[in-house]
Amino acid sequence: MREIRALYPDKTILADVRIAEAGALIARNCFEAGANWVSVVAGASLTTVEQVVKVADEFGGEVQIELGEDYDADKARKWKELGAKHVIVHRSRDAEVAGTLKWGPNDIERIKELHAMGFTVTVTGGVNVKDIPFFQGAPVGVIISGRGIVKAEDPLAAATELKNTINEVWPE
């Protein structure tokens, strides 16, 4: 984290540590090392989320909750009340590899509902250029495409194509 922060002092950096417990300790370590955001798993207790948000506030950081395959709107509202600002809607890597989970209309509805609650919504989970048009019209704030870039034959070309497609789908 410290090296990435040194290389990119003006960029928003997510420490995707998916905190489940020991929230204050892990969050503090991440923010002290230079993270702007930390991630918390949806299954973490509300006490853990509250502790992570408290530490994030100390550092001017933000908290992102990573949703599992199950979604609970009431719990999401509680995260918002506690101060979480972002949520991640994703496809499970295991389900993706098994070919049993695809993006669908329920994902768009979930994105819209979470956005209406005031969250910035991130989508991830094997997202690639072919997936981006599916989200057109949805209030997606962040797209994470790790494997779609890192595992590409030409990562720079893959990142450029992804950026161009995002700009076509969501022109500024």
pLDDT tens-digit profile of 82-114? 999 999 998 766 766 666 667 888 889 999 999
80 secondary structure, DSSP code: H
One domain for residues 59 and 41: yes
Structural domain ending residue among the three candidates 42, 76, 110: 76
Give residue 101's pLDDT: 63
- pTM (predicted TM-score): 0.87
Give residue 55's pLDDT: 98
One domain for residues 121 and 56: no
Give residue 38's pLDDT: 97
Task: Extract the residue ranges of the chain whose pLDDT is less than 50.
Answer: none
Give residue 103's pLDDT: 80
List the domain range (segments joined by +) for residue 134. 85-171
Q: End-to-end CA distance of the chain, in Å?
A: 30
Total number of domains in the chain: 2
pLDDT tens-digit profile of 133-143? 999 999 999 99
One domain for residues 64 and 93: no
> Following CA atoms 100, 73, 110, 165 in sequence, which dihedral angle do they give, to the nearest 10 degrees?
-100
Give residue 70's pLDDT: 74
Structural domain ending residue among the three candidates 49, 76, 103: 76
C-alpha to C-alpha distance for 162 and 143, rounded to whole angstroms: 10
Give residue 96's pLDDT: 66
Give residue 128's pLDDT: 84
One domain for residues 97 and 164: yes
Give residue 148's pLDDT: 84
> 28 is written with which tokens?
């503090």
CA-CA distances (angstroms) from residue 48 to 14, 20, 22, 140? 18, 7, 7, 26
Closest Cα partner for 36 from 68, 4, 66? 4
Q: 39: which strand partners?
A: 64
